[in-house]
């Protein structure tokens, strides 16, 4: 348990930051899920538009520090390759 005033303040700050990061992570997962559902349905146009939105959200989360840069790039790359494979 935090004893000092500064430690108590840090506990409050961490709790606020955790809630914000949790919401951002959930939002990114929702966008990724939309792309995956479009891929499963075989709807290429929807998948492409959803991919653009998901990529934007993912990179936004990366810039906010929710995900590491390489993680964001890897997820976008794998999703885009799956969307691209739909044309073949």
pLDDT, residue 86, reads: 87
Blockwise average pLDDT, block size 10, the chain, 88 residues: 90 96 97 96 94 96 96 96 88
64: alpha, beta or left? (left if phi > 0; alpha if psi -120 to 50): alpha
Domains in the chain, start-ordered, CATH in brackets?
5-85 (1.20.58.110)
pLDDT attached to residue 27: 97
Round to the nearest angstrom and report the end-to-end CA distance of the chain: 58
How far apart (Å, rounded) are the C-alpha atoms in residues 46 and 16?
35
User: Which pLDDT does position 88 carry in this prediction?
Assistant: 66
How far apart (Å, rounded) are the C-alpha atoms in residues 34 and 55?
12
């Amino acid at each position: 348990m935090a004893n000092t005033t500064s430690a108590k303040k840090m506990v409050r700050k961490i709790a606020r930051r955790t809630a914000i990061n949790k919401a951002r992570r959930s939002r990114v997962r929702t966008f990724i899920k939309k792309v995956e559902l479009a891929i499963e349905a075989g709807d290429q146009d929807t998948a492409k538009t959803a991919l653009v939105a998901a990529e934007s959200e993912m990179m936004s989360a990366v810039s906010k520090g929710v995900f590491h840069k390489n993680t964001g790039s890897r997820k976008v790359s794998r999703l885009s390759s799956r969307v691209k494979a739909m044309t073949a």
